[in-house]
């Protein structure tokens, strides 16, 4: 049995409470196909860079599971035409591949999100050439 990562994007208009009940149905489907779930994580509602049809946002769910390739194909067949699932992708998973994704960010992220970021930028520190210096 291999490890796989399955990412589901759910339609927020069709689920309640971030899709907790629908997530339970996905877990039951994985278990019924002979798989075991090692991680399930709701990544909350996110806005798309490009709309999927008329949808501009979706609720992301991430699962790491151990199962056979035939179970992955059956899982994709089961949720392929489901109206609640906007997108679904399954990838082979290697341990430690997403450790950087789920760990807390460093102080750099805090600096970018400060409200007065534009005002605190010091123009004297920025290297530039003026038109007069080039002559």
Q: What is the pLDDT of residues 64-85, one digit of tens each?
A: 999 999 999 999 999 999 999 9
User: Domain of 24?
Assistant: 2-104
* Residue 69 to residues 60, 65, 93, 106, Cα–Cα distance (Å): 23, 11, 13, 38
Residue 59: pLDDT band with limits 50, 70, 90: very high
With respect to residue 52, please indicate whether it lies within any of the assigned structural domains. yes
Judge whether 39 lies within some domain. Answer: yes
Residue 41 lies in a domain: yes
Whether residue 86 lies inside any domain: the answer is yes
Q: Is residue 25 part of a domain?
A: yes
- 123 domain-assigned: no
Is pLDDT at 121 greater than 60 in this prediction?
no
- Domain CATH number, residue 69: 3.30.70.60
Average model confidence (pLDDT) for the chain? 82
Q: What are the tens digits of pLDDT across the range 8-38? A: 999 999 999 999 999 999 999 999 999 999 9
Query: What's the number of domains the chain is made of?
Result: 1
For 111, phi then psi, to 5°, come to: -65, -40
């Amino acid at each position: 049995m291999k490890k796989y990562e399955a990412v589901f994007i759910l339609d927020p208009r069709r689920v309640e409470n971030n899709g907790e009940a629908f997530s339970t149905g996905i877990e039951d489907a994985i278990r019924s196909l002979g798989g075991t779930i090692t991680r399930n994580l709701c990544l909350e509602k996110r806005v798309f860079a490009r709309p999927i049809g008329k949808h501009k946002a979706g609720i992301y769910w991430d699962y790491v599971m151990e199962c056979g390739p035939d179970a992955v194909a059956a899982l994709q067949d089961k949720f392929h035409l489901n109206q609640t699932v906007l997108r679904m992708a399954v990838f082979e998973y290697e341990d430690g591949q997403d450790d950087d994704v789920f760990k807390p960010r460093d102080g750099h992220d805090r600096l970018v999100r400060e409200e007065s970021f534009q005002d605190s930028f010091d123009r004297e520190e920025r290297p530039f050439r003026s038109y007069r210096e080039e002559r």
